[in-house]
Amino acid sequence: MRYTGYFFIVAVLVLFNTPAGAVEPQASPYGVCSHLVGHEFDQHEKTMRLMQTAGIQWARADFSWCGVQPAPDTWDFKRVDVLLSRAPQHNIQILPILDYNNHFADPAWQHLDEWELYVRTMVERYQDRLPVWEIWNEQNGEGFWKDPNPEHYLALLKRSYETIKSVNPDLKVAVGGYAGIPYDYIEELYQLGGGQCFDIMNVHPYSHPLPPEQNLEESLQQLKDLMAKYGDDNKPIWATEIGWPTHEPEFTSPGLLQEALKCVLPEKSAYRIVCIKDPESDLPAALIKRRIADHLPANGVIEVLDYETLATALDRGDIDVVVMPPSENYYLDGFDRIVRYVKEGGTVVDLQGMPFWYGFTKNEKGAWEKTNTTSYNKLRIQAEAWWYNKGIIPEEMTVEYAGPVANLPDQPKKIIATRFLQPYQFKEGDRFIPLLRGKNEKYTGTAAAIFDFDSDWKGAVIVNALREGEGLVVNQNGQAEMLTRSQLMARRCGVERIFWYEFQAPEQDQHDKESHFGIVHNDYTEKPAYSSYKTLTSQLPAGSTFTHSDWHRTDKSLYYPQWKLTDGSSAGAIWSYKSSGTIRVEFSGARPSFTTHTGSPLSPSFSVNTAVLDISSAPVYFQGAEIKSIDAGF
């Protein structure tokens, strides 16, 4: 490599600014996404200082084509030069993304000579400081590539790979981070010969709002199986985006629920409302109340209950409205009590997509398990979507306010529905009252409706199939847990490097999820997720190796990955999923030390070498011993 005097000075600064014992950035598995060359450039020093404090040693950033070459004969490297001169001072390695069309070469895959000049110019200029180059971002999604097509992307990837290797064959090429893990797209790329055009597989295995335990392990295994099918199982897998936002969901159809309740309960001047907690969500009662309060009549009392206590509340006879969990989930056990409540004159509200879609039932250990059992027919509701009647029911349809809400002010300009409702086995006197309706030449779709009963039943069900409020979300404490759990799971599944999306939250809109992925606020104050990342990098430092093939129960109720630290000592983490309680953990050897996922010390009680731990979805780390056995009561 060639070093000028300037780069020698940078190297000296790095030497004296790197903490003793610190790992070289290229060895670290920990990264974040940050717009260091874009809108965050003015604060990039502050950003990188906070990254360094947290032990984060990789930062993924767009080196967008139009940013460095605004015109065919104009180049502007100022921001990139500054960033790459300062990143080493904070022990941070930059992962550049070469991406996006330019106004004079759009689309890029049809202007490969111009694209090659951009790639070659960047690589020749920065090859000594950037060992890995990522080609595009989420090329399988419409948001970043018009009309996604593996063949078109391969043309651009192949030219990029050949160009980079011609400059320096030691440099590595990462395929552009796929949105999700699109197996069909990836397989088609392999079938076209694309496996020869990248060194690193790269995916964005988002699952939010669902937790990582839902499908992360299975998704990554399916990816590894696909790579092995094409002889590519020796390549590392990176996840250059994963994250959970902490926004407050916004209702798509404002005013609709209030008006629907007036239709159903016109004589009521005040309401007593019960909201049922979701079996898959950690939302606290205060947040559930706040989310629903603005969309209910102001003169009411809102109570948030676990499902187990709902029957007792209903038996009091003073509950006017029951609001189902904020998702497509419902409790299958005891659902007949909900049906009886409606028969007797009660009102049930379901605001989340397919009503009564995923039934939860308790297993023999007392934990809630998700099933595919639906119960909408039990409430005289028929739910349907395009796959129920292909060619007739559309995949999506524009719907408008209808019936009693048709004249509400401030209606949204456009509402898109994908799930629809019909009456089912109505009796004389029952009424189906559409609230959101659309129509085409083949189908009339109702996306929200009142099922108003005045037959042998006397109550009502109000359903909005738009997934109002977006269903499950996580709060800031939940985000901190998701960060730890997803990173531990991905690492345990063999992912080499993981980049959390993102570092700083723009926080421009409280309802916009894209504004709330960050682990620090817009003003750089820390969210709990920052502490969890800092704790993770210290508890599972670079160079640690996972041990023990058994790392969770088969029913996923308990996770306990273990690893060896670089000094040979044992460490690990424990958390539960969907359940919580007290467990007894027997350790071999000395008693370990314990730390919460956000860095606070724990001092559980011990009996000889057995610790008694209160376990939940918040992981607990241990160091200094390995698990011999676990006795859990769930």
* Same domain, yes or no: 342 and 426: yes
pLDDT classification of 488: cutoffs 50, 70, 90: very high
* Same domain, yes or no: 535 and 549: no
On whether residue 341 sits in a domain, the answer given is yes
Q: What is the pLDDT of residue 589?
A: 82
Instruction: Tell me the C-alpha to C-alpha distance, in Å, between residue 404 and each of 203, 208, 257, 262, 263.
Output: 47, 35, 11, 10, 8
CB atoms within 10 A of CB 364: 6
pLDDT classification of 10: cutoffs 50, 70, 90: very low
* Same domain, yes or no: 625 and 509: no
Is 50 exceeded by the pLDDT of residue 579? yes
**Which residues face 607 on adjacent strands?**
610
Q: What is the pLDDT of residue 367?
A: 79
Phi-psi region of 524 (alpha: psi -120 to 50; beta: other; left: phi over 0): left
* Same domain, yes or no: 591 and 511: no
Which tokens is 66 given? 């139009």
- Give the C-alpha separation, 464 to 54, whole Å: 43
* Same domain, yes or no: 203 and 263: no
Domain range spanning residue 346?
256-465
Burial degree of 123 (CB within 10 A; 0-12, 13-18, 19+): buried
Which residue, of 418, 438, 465, is where some domain finishes? Answer: 465
Least Cα distance to 121 among 74, 157, 54 occurs for: 74
On whether residue 446 sits in a domain, the answer given is yes
Is 60 exceeded by the pLDDT of residue 43? yes
Least Cα distance to 583 among 560, 550, 562 occurs for: 560
φ, ψ of residue 492 in degrees (nearest 5): -65, -30
- Of 100-109, 155-164, 212-221, 404-413, minimum mean pLDDT range: 404-413
On whether residue 323 sits in a domain, the answer given is yes
- Give the C-alpha separation, 63 to 74, whole Å: 15
Per-residue exposure over 434-466, b if at least 16 CB sit within 10 Å of its own CB, e if not: bbbbbeeeebebbbbbbbbbeeebebbbbbbbb
Which of 57-61, 395-399, 511-515 shows the highest mean pLDDT?
57-61
Q: What is the pLDDT of residue 277?
A: 86
Q: What is the pLDDT of residue 365?
A: 74
pLDDT classification of 157: cutoffs 50, 70, 90: very high
Which CATH number covers residue 563?
2.60.40.1180
Is 70 exceeded by the pLDDT of residue 468? no
On whether residue 251 sits in a domain, the answer given is no
Which tokens is 570 given? 């044992």
pLDDT classification of 363: cutoffs 50, 70, 90: confident
The domain tally of the chain equals 3
On whether residue 623 sits in a domain, the answer given is yes
* Same domain, yes or no: 367 and 337: yes
- Give the C-alpha separation, 531 to 346, whole Å: 46
* Same domain, yes or no: 350 and 214: no
- Give the C-alpha separation, 24 to 13, whole Å: 15
* Same domain, yes or no: 392 and 353: yes
Which tokens is 282 given? 């950690």
Is 60 exceeded by the pLDDT of residue 467? yes
On whether residue 207 sits in a domain, the answer given is yes
Give me the sign of the Cα torsion angle 494, 497, 501, 503: positive
* Same domain, yes or no: 497 and 353: no
Q: What is the pLDDT of residue 126?
A: 99
* Average confidence score pLDDT of the chain: 91
- Of 8-17, 43-52, 176-185, 363-372, minimum mean pLDDT range: 8-17
Which CATH number covers residue 325?
3.40.50
Cα-to-chain-centroid distance, residue 398: 27
Is 90 exceeded by the pLDDT of residue 442? yes
Is 70 exceeded by the pLDDT of residue 370? yes
- Give the C-alpha separation, 618 to 634, whole Å: 16
Is 60 exceeded by the pLDDT of residue 3? no
Least Cα distance to 375 among 359, 393, 392 occurs for: 359
Looking at residue 232, its amino acid is D
Q: What is the dihedral of CA 26, 32, 37, 38, to 10 degrees?
A: 170
Q: Are 82 and 70 in contact (CB under 8 A)?
A: no
Is 80 exceeded by the pLDDT of residue 602? yes
* Same domain, yes or no: 332 and 290: yes
Which tokens is 267 given? 């004589």
Which residue, of 539, 557, 576, is where some domain finishes? Answer: 539
Is 80 exceeded by the pLDDT of residue 358? yes
Longest distance between any two alpha carbons in the chain, whole Å: 90
* Same domain, yes or no: 391 and 527: no
Higher-scoring residue by pLDDT: 478, 134 = 134
Is 50 exceeded by the pLDDT of residue 401? yes
Q: What is the pLDDT of residue 425?
A: 97
- Give the C-alpha separation, 239 to 31, whole Å: 10
Give the H or E element holding residue 286. Answer: helix 285-293
pLDDT classification of 5: cutoffs 50, 70, 90: very low
Which CATH number covers residue 487?
3.20.20.80
What value does the mean pLDDT take over residues 385-393? Answer: 93
Looking at residue 560, its amino acid is Y
Which residue, of 502, 517, 539, is where some domain finishes? Answer: 539
Is 50 exceeded by the pLDDT of residue 13? no
Task: Give the pLDDT confidence of 192-251 residue by residue, as tens digits.
Answer: 999 999 999 999 999 987 899 989 999 999 999 999 999 999 999 999 999 999 987 666
φ, ψ of residue 97 in degrees (nearest 5): -110, 120
Q: What is the dihedral of CA 379, 385, 388, 389, to 10 degrees?
A: 130
Which tokens is 359 given? 């039934």
Looking at residue 12, its amino acid is V
* Same domain, yes or no: 527 and 585: no
N residues, the chain:
634
